[in-house]
Amino acid sequence: MHLFTERWKVINIIAFIIFIFAPMQIVMAGTKNSVESLTVFECGKIQSPDRSLWSPGVDVNVAHKMVASCYLIRHKNGTMVWDTGIPAFVAKKPKGVSVAGGKITLFLDKPFPQLLEEHGISPASIDHLAISHMHPDHSGNANAFSNATWYVQEAEYAAAFGLMAKKLNFNLKTYNKLKDGKVVKLNHHHDVFGDGSVVIIPAPGHTPGHQVLFVRLPSGPVLLSGDLWHFRSNYENGRVPGFNFDKKETKNSMAMIDSLITITGAKLLLQHDSEQNATIPHAPQSLR
């Protein structure tokens, strides 16, 4: 993130030493050929008449379009889903569903569980589930994966099932069944398959327990952004959306994860970025 100030560079280094050292050791030592594929699905579209919702003071009243992405990981020892897309009920509304006081409209062609079925995978068969955070464009349809083991940061779990859920615009109905399934609460990174090939890394700030995912593909590592960065210019300029839960924490997370990207050489996959997603193979193709 070359436009960061000198002060941020110093914070970057300190944050790296404190928070990134342990997950870094795991991902650096990760097994290269245990992940068989990463399949990207388009799980809806997002439109707004004002791009500055995500970049305060910049691109005010400029129309903005994004995609919502979901991911299937095939590992030699099981399957994992990362993010579950815009909720199914949106698919029945051709004019979309207006949220955030009319500032954002959600659209959906087919819900993620249906896309997975068409891809030959039953949602009920998925072994592992992690969600970057519980906003409805990421956790819609999560109940379809209640058979899976769900990995969630403790702070996100507390927000999701506590009084804060409404304030954070979480939609409990789309994920309430996860509570009764196999839940692994985290306060740190987590090596899903135990070989450093798929690692959940906390990156709080957008929401209390936001997290990102490192995946070591045979062709090289990738980092799934969650909503740490929504699109390229926000990454390059370190911009924080006005509606984030904690701006300072977001900045720290950006610095940490950017260090991890630099050191591992991971390709950053910006989940909402329409331009980048247009260049990445989607289902039925896979990244390998």
Report DSSP letters for 122-150, one per residue: -GGG--EEE-S--SHHHHTTGGGGTTSEE
**Binding segment (CB under 5 A) for Zn ion, from list 29-37, 104-112, 132-140, 276-284:** 132-140
* Enclosing H/E stretch for 66: strand 64-75
Nearest to 113 by CA among 101, 104, 122: 122
Q: Could you tell me the smallest distance in angstroms from the CB atom of residue 212 to Zn ion?
A: 13
Minimum CB distance to Zn ion smaller for 137 or for 258: 137
**Binding segment (CB under 5 A) for Zn ion, from list 13-21, 135-143, 207-215, 231-239:** 135-143
Q: Could you tell me the smallest distance in angstroms from the CB atom of residue 164 to Zn ion?
A: 17
- Show the binding pattern over residues 90-129: x = contacts Zn ion (CB under 5 A), - = does not: ----------------------------------------
Minimum CB distance to Zn ion smaller for 85 or for 221: 85
Minimum CB distance to Zn ion smaller for 161 or for 243: 243
Contacts of 29 (CB under 8 A, 6+ apart): 196
Near Zn ion by CB under 5 A: residue from 42, 227, 258, 273: 227
Query: In this structure, what token pair is assigned to residue 119?
Result: 């891809």
Count of residues interacting with Zn ion (CB under 5 A): 2
What does the alpha-carbon distance between residue 88 and residue 22 come to, in Å, rounded to a whole number? 38
Query: In this structure, what token pair is assigned to residue 170?
Result: 């979480």
Q: Could you tell me the smallest distance in angstroms from the CB atom of residue 219 to Zn ion?
A: 26
If one asks whether residue 156 binds Zn ion (CB under 5 A), the answer comes out as no
Near Zn ion by CB under 5 A: residue from 83, 137, 156, 273: 137
Distance of CA 270 to the CA centre of its chain: 9
CA-CA-CA-CA torsion sign (256, 262, 267, 272): positive
What does the alpha-carbon distance between residue 209 and residue 153 come to, in Å, rounded to a whole number? 5
Minimum CB distance to Zn ion smaller for 121 or for 134: 134
Minimum CB distance to Zn ion smaller for 54 or for 157: 54
Binding site for Zn ion (CB under 5 A): 137, 227
